[in-house]
Structure 1
Amino acid sequence: MSNNQKKWSRQVTENSDALDIKVDIFESDDPKEIALSLKRSAEQSDRRKSSPFQSAMSMLTFYINRAGKNLSVSRKRVLENAKDELREAFDR
């Protein structure tokens, strides 16, 4: 991955047009904390273009996809578990 691509994905994560997310939330070891933070951000956003659930899930999925092979197995597990927590938080 080129340096420009790394900067681009980091910039999207930090400066999303749809959500103002807590700094370093994706570094948390608690899937529930990640999910609830994303839920809060999505519900408070007046710039998102889809439902709060879709916006929150999209941001989480984007982060996982952009990190790709750079994610350790344990980090990926935490983030995948955060998806389940997000579904639960939105009663899905």
Structure 2
Amino acid sequence: MARKTRKYSKGASKKVGRAMKKRKAGTLKSGRSGRKVKSRKQAIAIGLSEARREGKKVPPKKGAKKSTKKRSTKKSKKKTSKKRKSKKKS
């Protein structure tokens, strides 16, 4: 019996599974329009994007440009605000 290789990490697979269950129940909605998701492929894509946001091990999108791929792999750093030096009035 052939062994099935895992495409994504365990955590990402859980997210996709959860999205598929929601789709079957009819409660999975797309991001912007809020419409119900009927497509199986779209449900998988939603699950993978959620996993990407959480930092799970998922390959970058196929259509993504190089700069986008780099940005998605790096963890976002908090911007530190620089305080302005106030000029003393004499």
Q: TM-score if structure 2 supplies the norm length?
A: 0.28
Larger Rg: 2
Q: TM-score if structure 1 supplies the norm length?
A: 0.28
Greater RCO (Cα-Cα under 8 Å, separation 6 or more): 1
